[in-house]
Structure 1
Amino acid sequence: MTPKVLTRQIVSAATQAFWSPDDLLGEIQATLAALADVEYRYERDRERLMQQLGPDAVFQPLWAERERRYEAEREPYRRRVEQLQRRMRRNLFSGL
C-alpha cells in the first residue's frame, strides 16, 4: 500500500472519528443538492423528449437509454445518503 493511500485512509478514519453535527449537516445538504440536480435534469430531459418526439415508438428507445444514465448518475448519491444516515444514527445513539 502506498503512503499516499494509507494517509488518505487514516485521514478519512480520523475525520469520521471526530464527527461534528455541522460537518454531517453540510455533507447531507451537499449530497441532497447533488441528488436534486440529477432529478431535475432527468425530469427536464423527459419533458424535452416528450415535446420533441411525442409518446411514440421512437421515444421509447431514447428514453430507455436516458433511464439507464439516470439510474447510474443517481446511485452514488443514493448510497452516500444511506451512509450519512447510518453515521448520523451511530452518532446519535452512541451518546445514549
Structure 2
Amino acid sequence: SDFEHFYLSIQAASAGLGLAMASALMVRDELHSGQLQAPFGFLKEGSGYHLLSPQALDDGSKRQRFADWVRSECQACLAQLGLLQNDEPALPSPPQVR
C-alpha cells in the first residue's frame, strides 16, 4: 500500500502490514524497543542539518556553548541508536556548525 505520510507507513510497518523506509532518527524509539527492525540498515543520503549564526562563535560565548550542546545532543542520540560505531560510511552525520 501507499501512504501519503511517512508516519502512516511507520505505523503500518509497526502493525505488521509490510515494510517502510524511514530515517533512523524517525524510528529510533521503535528500533530501541524492538517493535521495528532495520534488516538492511540505513544509508547516508546526503542531507544534513546546519546551525547558523549571524555572529562568530567565539570560544566561551553563549552561542558557542549552545552549538556545543546541540552537537553533543546529536552525538548522544546517534550513539544511543548505535550509529556512531567505526565511522561506517552509511551513517547519518551530526549537524555541522557554520
Q: Which TM-score applies when normalising by structure 1?
A: 0.37
Structure having the higher Rg:
1
TM-score, with length taken from structure 2: 0.36
The structure richer in strand per residue is 2
